[in-house]
Chains A and B, each alone.
Chain A
Amino acid sequence: MAEIVVGIATSHVPFMAAPRRAEVDEGQHARVIAGLGEARKLLEQARPDAIVIFSTDHFDRCFYDNLPPFLVGIGEEAEGPVTNLSGMPKVKLKIASALGRFIVSEGLDNGVDFALSQDLPLDHAEVVPLSFLTPGWEIPIVPIVVNAFAPPMPSLKRCWQVGGFVRETVERWPEKKRVAVIGTGGLSHWVGPPETGRINGEFDRWFLQCLVEGKAAEVIEKYKKAEDLEKIAGNGGQEVRDWLAVAAAMPAALKPRVLAYEPIAQWVTGTGVMAWV
């Protein structure tokens, strides 16, 4: 049977992958990059054969003509990013399609109605974090795109359930493989509304602390409605869904810790990195 060997959650703000602009505080920048470096080291030490990556979209793969709550990429390869916000060159990644198909079919048999794509491009939500975590692009991924960008969105509770389902499913996948789970997005940020540029460091630190202390239920209980989360963490803060999914996917033996958190005004994002090892 397969096993989950490490978990990582990180922001995916495109500025992260670009050279540091002079106005970005050098210390903040260095601490985030160091956190990502530590996450990469932990990932390498865990020696995963495949990565399940919970991420979101930015209207470049999904739109209101076809908007699944959870979309799994099960093709052979994926290329991206579709839109080049960070100046990154396009990359091509292998999909761990056997695992992806297993997750989808087990889901459909057991009450988690995943949508699927055999031709899912990549978004900066996957490419930016992976450019730090697996810069050789050598580990195949199973992308699970969570609708954390276009209301109405799946509830935090549902994202937690789906993360837990992925853990159970990986653990009964009849292959002797080591699997990492990554979640990308957040933390608080407002992208587009009148509050654009605001960061809520107080929320971010509380959220991280809840995950460290195993109190995700408090977050889920407090923010049952997406509108309430949006008020406190912004429309970009809806991406904490991906962090909750990773937390739920972690076996009890893996313990969480925060590797970096910086509210970086010039990146308009509360930028965090966390790992479960």
Chain B
Amino acid sequence: MSLYQVNKLLRDINLSAELAQRCRTAPEAVLPQYALTPEEQEAIKSWQVRKLYDMGANPFLLLVYSMATGKDMRAYVKAMNQLS
């Protein structure tokens, strides 16, 4: 399990608008900088927040990372309630 790395990425994105922008436009350049499993990489790339939550990612970080990457609250709540 590398959830530490997932949470770290989510946190870094929340603290850096520049990283948030790069994660939106070129995730393939950002994600290899974190020790993520292929499943985690895919879940982040395709914004599967419910899956990340079920895997154990921190929910507060999932929300703020989503906001930082341009998602709105309505879309977030909908995605979080779609079972992975």
Binding site for B on A (CB under 8 A): 58-60, 63-65, 82-83, 149-150, 191-194, 196-197, 235
B60 contacts A194, CB within 8 Å? no
**Is B51 part of the binding interface, using a Cβ–Cβ cutoff of 8 Å?**
no
Which of A65, A83, A196 is B14 in contact with, Cβ under 8 Å?
Answer: A83
B80 contacts A194, CB within 8 Å? yes
Q: Which residues of B contact A83 (CB under 8 A)?
A: 14-15, 64
The majority secondary structure among interface residues of chain B is helix
The contact string, 1 if C-beta is below 8 Å from chain A, for chain B 1-14, is 00010011001001
For residue B31, give the distance in angstroms from its CB to the closest CB of chain A. Answer: 19
Q: Which residues of B contact A193 (CB under 8 A)?
A: 53, 59, 80
B60 contacts A149, CB within 8 Å? yes
A82 contacts B15, CB within 8 Å? yes
Known contacts A58-B60, A235-B60; A63 and B80 CB within 8 A of each other: no
State A58–B65 Cα separation when bound (angstroms): 12
Q: Which residues of A contact B4 (CB under 8 A)?
A: 64
For residue A254, give the distance in angstroms from its CB to the closest CB of chain B. Answer: 33
For residue B58, give the distance in angstroms from its CB to the closest CB of chain A. Answer: 7
For residue A64, give the distance in angstroms from its CB to the closest CB of chain B. Answer: 6
For residue A154, give the distance in angstroms from its CB to the closest CB of chain B. Answer: 18
B11 contacts A59, CB within 8 Å? yes
